[in-house]
Amino acid sequence: MKTKLGGIYSALMVAYDEDGNINENGTREIIRHNIHKMEVDGLYVGGSTGENFMISTEEKKRILYIAMDEGRGQVKLMAQVGSVNLKEAVELGKYATDLGYDALSAVTPFYYKFDFEEIKNYYNTIIEATGNYMVIYFIPSLTGVNLSLDQFGELFENEKIIGVKFSHGDFFLLERLRKAYPDHLIYAGLDEMMLSAAVLHVDGGIGSTYNVNGIRAKQIYTLAKGGKIKEARELQHTTNDLIEGILANGLYQTIKEIMKTQGVDAGYCRQPTKRLSEEGIIAAKELAEKYL
């Protein structure tokens, strides 16, 4: 399973039109761009980068369908189905599994202060209903949910939970996870720390900036795995210069604007995310010219 599902995945962006509706043609362009230009190993569909927590269940299904229809047989496909609404998570998990997704992922249930038994039941319920593999989406900075090494171990007792998308800066916990669970998948979830994670022998990465910086991310990962740390470090420096500029200008809006400079109809972000100003559009183009 590690061999099959490892590698670099773009956290897939979704093109929306000016009214916030899914732009299907633009979304298909984004998928093709990731596969053919960024040369990613997989697509992580339905995550934060796709603005997933601002859209309806039916819209989430539509995106899952588009990604499978466009990407089937070309890259690995992982569906993020997590929701604070467990019934929705199960519904989406069944839908993605029926479509043929290689694995599911689910963000830890958030907002309400669920205890660990409730979190464990959430994952086990999705797995029992779908029969699919599960990758935990661990992003405590946004969910407020922390998991300990022992708690990860308890979750991993379910043989269908095959790994974790580790979007957290606690690299002590990352190292402990890697040592304790060598047979589970660990994906680096922080694009700016790919080199550091690769040195600890993660199995790949899942990131939003890979929609425009996927080639360089794969190079960092490959070089680090091959022990070529100096070369990887230089590429990480350049990557982080790019990321710093993107974050300062507006994360998702800027990535979409950069994709437009690369010939992709990446559309707009869904409200309440604001539009880029003219200055912001110019800044995005300058980032693309300088770093890509």
Task: Could you list the residues known to form a binding site for aceneuramate, using ranges.
Answer: 48-49, 167, 189, 191-192, 208
DSSP state of 277: P
- Known active-site residue 165: yes
C-alpha triplet 123, 129, 133: angle, nearest 5°: 60
Whole-number Å distance between alpha carbons of 182 and 235: 27
Torsion from C-alpha of 245, 247, 253, 254, nearest 10 degrees: 10
Provide the residue type at 280 as one letter.
Answer: G
Structure tokens that stand for 273 in this block: 């995310």
Whole-number Å distance between alpha carbons of 144 and 142: 6
φ, ψ for residue 52 (rounded to 5)?
-60, -30
State the catalytic residue, choosing from 16, 123, 137, 210.
137
Kindly tell me the sign of the dihedral angle through the C-alpha atoms of 194, 196, 197, 200: positive
Whole-number Å distance between alpha carbons of 140 and 44: 19
Kindly tell me the sign of the dihedral angle through the C-alpha atoms of 151, 156, 158, 162: positive
If residue 45 lies in a helix (H) or strand (E), which one and from where to where?
A: strand 42-45
Report, as residue numbers or ranges, the catalytic residues.
137, 165
